[in-house]
C-alpha cells in the first residue's frame, strides 16, 4: 500500500509525463521520442513534486 502523499506524487508525475509525451508526439510524430520525453519528464516530476508536497 502507498501512502496518500506517495500516491499523489506518482499520479502528478505520471500525468506530467503523459502530457509531455503527447505534446512531443504531436510535434515530432515519433513514438520513441515521445516515450523518451515522457519518461524523462516523469522522472524529473517525481523529484519536483516530492519536494513541493512535503
Query: Which band of pLDDT confidence, cut at 50, 70 and 90, is reported for residue 54?
Result: confident
- Of 52, 3, 23, the closest CA to residue 13 belongs to 52
Distances (CA, A) of 30 to 8, 21, 41, 42: 29, 10, 16, 18
The C-alpha atoms of residue 17 and residue 1 are separated, in whole angstroms, by 23
Q: What are 10-44's pLDDT values in tens digits?
A: 999 999 999 999 999 999 999 999 999 999 999 99
pLDDT for the residue numbered 45: 98
Residue ranges per structural domain of the chain: 4-52
pLDDT tier at 8 (50, 70, 90 boundaries)? Answer: very high
Q: Grid cell 522522472 — which residue? A: 43
pTM of the predicted model as reported, rounded to 2 decimal places: 0.92
Amino acid at each position: 500500500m502507498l501512502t496518500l502523499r506517495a500516491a499523489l506524487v506518482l499520479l502528478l508525475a505520471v500525468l506530467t509525463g503523459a502530457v509531455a509525451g503527447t505534446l512531443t508526439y504531436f510535434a515530432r510524430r515519433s513514438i520513441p521520442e515521445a516515450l523518451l520525453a515522457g519518461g524523462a519528464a516523469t522522472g524529473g516530476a517525481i523529484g519536483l513534486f516530492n519536494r513541493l508536497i512535503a
